[in-house]
Structure 1
Amino acid sequence: MSERKFTEQELVRRAKLEKLIENKSNPYEVSKYVRTHSLKELIELFGGYEKDELATLQQTEISIAGRIKLYREAGNKAAFLNIEDQDSDIQVYVRQDEIGDAAFANFRELDLGDIVGFKGIMMKTNHGELSLRAKEYTLLSKALRPLPDKHAGIQDIEEKYRRRYVDLITNPESKRVFQARTKIIRTMQQILDERGYMEVETPILHSVKGGAAAKPFITHYNALDVDVYLRIATELHLKRLIVGGFDGVYEIGRIFRNEGMSTRHNPEFTSLELYVAYEDMFFLMDLTEEIFRKCNAAVNESSVIEYGGHKLDLSKPFKRLHMVDGIKQVTGVDFWKEMTVEEALELAKKHNVHVEKHNYTVGHIINLFYEEFVESTIIEPTFVYGHPKEISPLSKSNAEDSRFTDRFELFIVGREYANAFSELNDPIDQYDRFNEQIKEAAAGNDEATEMDIDFIEALEHAMPPTAGIGFGIDRLVMLLTNSESIKDVLLFPQLKPRD
C-alpha cells in the first residue's frame, strides 16, 4: 500500500478534524440539516429592503447552508464570511457576543471550503450589503484540501476537466454553462412533447453497426457469447418504431464513436434523434430553426449571440445552400454536369484533393470538395442540402436528380450541428445501398455501415414517408454558451489516464 503525502495546509486541516472528533463534534456525523431558504430565495425576499426597514421587520429565524468562499475578521470579536450554494452567495455576520465565547473560538478555526449551516435573521450592513446575522452555526463537512487561489483558479486546463468538482466550486461560469445545458435539453423536450412526439429509449449495445458513418467501439456480450457494438446512432431502431405505427419518436442519449478527440469531438457524446411520419426534410428545416431560437431564448437574453469571433442573429431565417452550388461558388467547379469517375478524379488532382481508394465515386469526390473548400467558409446558420447518394445510404433520392438525396446538414461557423433526411423507405433500394456499403468496407472504409437484414424486413412491412434528424447537443450547448471546446460543456470529458 502506498503512503499518501500531505501538504502542510492539509496536515493542519486534518489536525483540526482530529480535535473536533476528540471534542465529540465530528462534522461527518451530521446526517441532515434543514434549510428554510436557498440563498437565491433570501436575496429575492429581502434584497429590496433598506437597512432600517430590515432592522424593524418582524422576522422568523432563517436557516441556510453553503460552502465558505471568503472569510475576514472584523476585530477580535466579529467576522464576516461569504457562503455559496448552487445558485448564489450571501454574506454572514458572526459576533462573539451572539454565538458565545466557546462557539466563536471554534468558529475561528473554520477554513475556506468548509460547508457550514447558519441560523439567524437578515440585516443590511452600513454599506448596504444584505447579510445573515448569525445566532448559531453548525459545521456540516470539513474540507481537508484547500481550494485553488480564488483569483487564479485552476491553472492546468486538463486538471479543470479531470477535477470538475473543483472547477464547479471555484468557477461560477462553469456552473452556469451546465445549468444552461440542462435548460437547453429541457427546452428541446418541451418543444417535441408539445407536438405530441414520444420520447423513447433504444438499445446501446447493437449487433449491427449502422445508422451513421463512424468507427464503433466493440465489446463482448458474455451471456450471448457474441461481440457487439456500442451504438454509433439511434436511427435504425427509431425508424423501426415509425414502422410500428408511432407518428413521431425521439431519443436523447449517449452515442459512442471510436474516433479522434479534439475541441469539437469526444468519443462519447449526446445526440437527439427525431423521426416524424408523413413529413420531409423541409419540415425539419423549419423545426430546426424553431428549436435553435427557443433554446437560445431559454439561456440568453438576445437573439444575437457571439461565437468564434462572429456575431450571429438567430432570429433571421437560416440560409439554404445546395452542396453543389456551394462548391461552384467557392471553386468554380460545376458538379451539376454529368461526369465519369475518371473526370472527377482529374478535377480532384487538379485541386489537390486527396481521394482514398474506397472513395472512388463521383459522389464521394463531390463531398471531399465540399469538406475541403466550402465548410470553413460558412458562418451564418446554413442548411447545406443535396448530398450525393454514395455518402447518404439511409436518405431518400431526390426526385429530380437521383445522383443526390433529400438530406441536409446545418452548418454554423464551419461546424456541423444537425444532420437530417427525408428517410429512405424503399426496402429494395435500401438493400442495394447496404450492399454498396459492404463493398466500401471491403475496400478499406472502416466507417462504412453493415447490412441490417432485420431493418430491411421492417421496411418491407412499409414505413410511411418520414423525416428524420439528429442534433449534436454538445455542440449546440457550445454555441449558445460561447464555449470553445466540447470539454467545456461535458461534465466529465474523456481524458488520457494519468500515469
Structure 2
Amino acid sequence: MAEQNKNNNQQVDVNQLLKVRREKLADLQAQGKDPFQITKYDVTNHTTEIKDNFEQFECQHDEEGKLIKDDAKLVSIAGRIMLKRVMGKASFCNVQDKTGNIQVYVARNELGDEPFDEYKAFKKMDIGDIVGVKGYAFTTKTGEKSIHATEVILLSKSLQILPEKHHGLTNTDLRYRQRYLDLIMNPEVKDTFIKRSKIISEIRKFLDGQGFMEVETPMLVHNAGGAAARPFETHFNALDEDVKLRISLELYLKRLIVGGLEKVYEIGRVFRNEGVDTRHNPEFTLMELYQAYTDYHSMMDLTENLYRHLAETVCGSAKISYNGIEMDLSQPFERLTMVDAVKKYAGVDWNEVETLEQARELAKEHHVEFEERHKKGDILNLFFEEYVEEHLIQPTFIMDHPIEISPLTKKKPENPDYVERFEFFMNGWELANAYSELNDPIDQRERFAAQEEAFAAGDDEAEHTDEDFLNALEIGMPPTGGIGFGIDRMVMLLTDSAAIRDVLLFPTMKQLDK
C-alpha cells in the first residue's frame, strides 16, 4: 500500500509539472511570444566545432575580469537545454546539439536589449526546451569551455519531462519505441547511428570507385524470389491484385545485367515474414551487387577489400573488437569449403557420404535434427550450422555449398553436387552470401521446378518459378558474380552493438495495446 501511495504521489507531481509547462506556454502566447511561431534561427556553429577549435573562438578577459567581446568571434548555436542552474545575477545551462554539448553562462545584466526581462524569461525556461544562443566563447575559472551568452531565445517549448539525467534512459523497450528520447539522453546511441550513416556512405564511395552503378528496383512484387524466406502479402487496390513485399533484390538486379549495365548495386529495405531476435528484424537493409564477366572468387576479393576499408575508415583500424573479442581484418581472410569446415569442426568427412541414408544415419549419431524432405546436401548444411558457425570468429569464407540449398548458383564443373557459392562469416555470424550466378535458363527452370516440389512438400520458404526472369536468362546473361550483404549485422559488428534493434532507428515493435 505504501509503495502504491508513493507511485500515486509521483504521478500527481508529474501531472503538476506538466500543467506548469503548459501554463508557461500559455503565458508566452498571451504576451505575443509564442515560440512555435518562430520559423528559423541562424546557426553559425556547432558545439563540438567550438570546443575542438577553441583557440580560434576564445575571447579573453581584461584586467578587471570583464570579457573582451570580439564581434569577429561571435558564435550562434541552437539546441536543447539539458541542465540548468539558476542563481541570482548569473546562471548556467548546458545546451546539446547534434554534435555534443557546451556550457552557457547567462548574466542578468548582459542579456539582449532588455537584459532584466530576458533574464526573467530565461529563468522560466525548462530542461528540454530548445533554444538559440548567441555569445562569445570563453573559459570559466574552473577551466570549462563555455559560451558567454548575449542572447538566449526560446525556439520550441518542451511540454514533456525528459528522463532524469543522472540515471539516463535505461528501459530498453522504451528506448526502442521512443528513439527520439534515446537519442537525446544517450550520446553513444547517437554516435552509433552517425557511424551507421558513415558506413553506408563509405560503401557507396568504395563501389562507385570500382565502377559500380547504384540503382533502385521494385519493393512491391508479384513473385518474391531470390531468397529462402516467407514474404509479407498485401493488396494493390488500383489493380485489384495481391502483391508481396520483396524478400531480396536479386532477380531484378540480374535483369539489369542482362540489359548490359555490367556492374550494379542496390542498398534497400527488404521484408521477411519471420521471427524477431538479436540478429533478425522483419524489415532490414540489404545490399546486393552484381558484376558481369566474373565469378565468386572475385566476389571474395571484393568482400575482403570492402570490409577492410570500412574497418579502417570508420573504426580507425583493421583490427576491431566486438564484445571484448578482437577480430583482425588486416590479414588475408581464411577460405574453407563447407565440406572441409564440417570435417574440421565436426569430425565428419562428407566426401565419404555417398547416399541419403548414410547422411541420415550420421545425423542421428550426432544428434542433428532433420526433416523427411531434407536431402543429402540439406543435412550437410545442418551439420555446418550445428558444429561450425560458432567457431568462425575471425573473417572466414565458407565456399562450395551443396546444390540443394543453392537454387540460383552455378554448379562446380568438376563436381555438380556442389555450387560456386560462399558465405562470409565473422563473430560466428553470416555477414554476406555470394555466387557465381546461374545463367543457364534450362538449368534454372529445373531448379525452380525442384523448389516448387519442395514447397509442395511443406517448405514454405522455397522459391517459386519466375517466368519473366527465365525469359531474361533466355535473352542471355553473361557470366556474373553476385553478392548480398546484411547491412544491419555489418553495422552491429563495426559499432560493437549487442542487438540488431540497437542499429535500427525504429525497429519492429508490437503495439503497446497488444
Q: TM-score, normalised by structure 2?
A: 0.93
SS at match of 1:404: strand
Segment drifting more, 218-227 vs 241-250: 218-227
Aligned-partner Cα distance in 2 for 1:367–1:8: 61
Q: Find the counterpart in structure 1 of residue 46 from structure 2.
A: 38
Aligned-partner Cα distance in 1 for 2:176–2:220: 28
SS at match of 1:299: helix
Matched, 1:112 2:100: no
Q: Find the counterpart in structure 2 of residue 220 from structure 1.
A: 235
- How far does the alpha carbon of each residue in 1:325-376 deviate from its partner, in whole angstroms, 9 at most, with x for none? 11111222111125111111111111111111222x1111111111111111
- How far does the alpha carbon of each residue in 1:32-57 deviate from its partner, in whole angstroms, 9 at most, with x for none? 11112222332244346777489557
Structure 1 residue 122, shift from structure 2 partner: 2.0
Contact 2:58 2:137 in 1 (8 A): no
- How far does the alpha carbon of each residue in 1:141-199 deviate from its partner, in whole angstroms, 9 at most, with x for none? 01111111112122320100000000000111000100100100011111111111110
Aligned-partner Cα distance in 2 for 1:301–1:250: 26
Contact 2:50 2:57 in 1 (8 A): no
Alignment of 1:352-431 (within 5 A): 352-359=367-374, 361-431=375-445
Aligned-partner Cα distance in 2 for 1:155–1:200: 40
Q: Find the counterpart in structure 2 of residue 97 from structure 1.
A: 109
Contact 2:248 2:270 in 1 (8 A): yes
Segment drifting more, 439-448 vs 39-48: 39-48
Contact 1:37 1:63 in 2 (8 A): yes
Matched, 1:278 2:290: no
SS at match of 1:87: coil
Give the total of aligned pairs.
494
Instruction: Give ranges in structure 1 of 5+ residues lacking alignment.
Output: none
Contact 1:47 1:130 in 2 (8 A): no
Aligned-partner Cα distance in 2 for 1:400–1:134: 76
Contact 1:70 1:82 in 2 (8 A): yes
Q: Find the counterpart in structure 1 of residue 85 from structure 2.
A: 72
Q: Find the counterpart in structure 2 of residue 322 from structure 1.
A: 337
Aligned-partner Cα distance in 1 for 2:27–2:42: 26
SS at match of 1:358: coil
Contact 2:59 2:136 in 1 (8 A): no
Contact 2:407 2:448 in 1 (8 A): yes
- How far does the alpha carbon of each residue in 1:271-296 deviate from its partner, in whole angstroms, 9 at most, with x for none? 10000001111111111111111212
- How far does the alpha carbon of each residue in 1:388-425 deviate from its partner, in whole angstroms, 9 at most, with x for none? 00100001111221111110001111111000001011
Contact 2:438 2:444 in 1 (8 A): yes
Alignment of 1:22-171 (within 5 A): 22-47=30-55, 52=60, 58-60=70-72, 61-73=74-86, 75-99=87-111, 100-171=115-186
Q: Find the counterpart in structure 2 of residue 21 from structure 1.
A: 29
Segment drifting more, 120-129 vs 56-65: 56-65
Aligned-partner Cα distance in 2 for 1:334–1:258: 35
Aligned-partner Cα distance in 1 for 2:445–2:171: 51
Contact 1:293 1:315 in 2 (8 A): yes
- How far does the alpha carbon of each residue in 1:107-157 deviate from its partner, in whole angstroms, 9 at most, with x for none? 111111100111222222122222211112210001111111112122320
Alignment of 1:469-480 (within 5 A): 469-480=483-494
Match of 1:461 among 475, 487, 512: 475
Structure 1 residue 303, shift from structure 2 partner: 2.1
Aligned-partner Cα distance in 2 for 1:121–1:328: 68
Aligned-partner Cα distance in 1 for 2:460–2:373: 10
SS at match of 1:274: strand
Structure 1 residue 15, shift from structure 2 partner: 1.5
SS at match of 2:416: coil
Q: Find the counterpart in structure 2 of residue 485 from structure 1.
A: 499
- How far does the alpha carbon of each residue in 1:455-495 deviate from its partner, in whole angstroms, 9 at most, with x for none? 11111111111000000000000000000100000000001
Structure 1 residue 244, shift from structure 2 partner: 0.5
Aligned-partner Cα distance in 2 for 1:151–1:450: 55
The one-letter code matched in structure 2 to 1:353 is V
Aligned-partner Cα distance in 2 for 1:218–1:120: 56
The one-letter code matched in structure 2 to 1:217 is F
The one-letter code matched in structure 2 to 1:186 is S
Match of 1:248 among 259, 263, 271: 263
Aligned-partner Cα distance in 2 for 1:202–1:50: 52
Aligned-partner Cα distance in 1 for 2:69–2:208: 46
Aligned-partner Cα distance in 1 for 2:216–2:508: 24
Q: Find the counterpart in structure 2 of residue 172 from structure 1.
A: 187
Q: TM-score, normalised by structure 1?
A: 0.96
Instruction: Give ranges in structure 2 of 5+ residues lacking alignment.
Output: 1-10
Contact 1:208 1:450 in 2 (8 A): yes
Contact 1:51 1:128 in 2 (8 A): no
Aligned-partner Cα distance in 2 for 1:330–1:19: 72
Q: CA RMSD in A?
A: 1.7
Q: Find the counterpart in structure 2 of residue 260 from structure 1.
A: 275
Match of 1:449 among 433, 452, 463: 463
Aligned-partner Cα distance in 2 for 1:155–1:87: 22
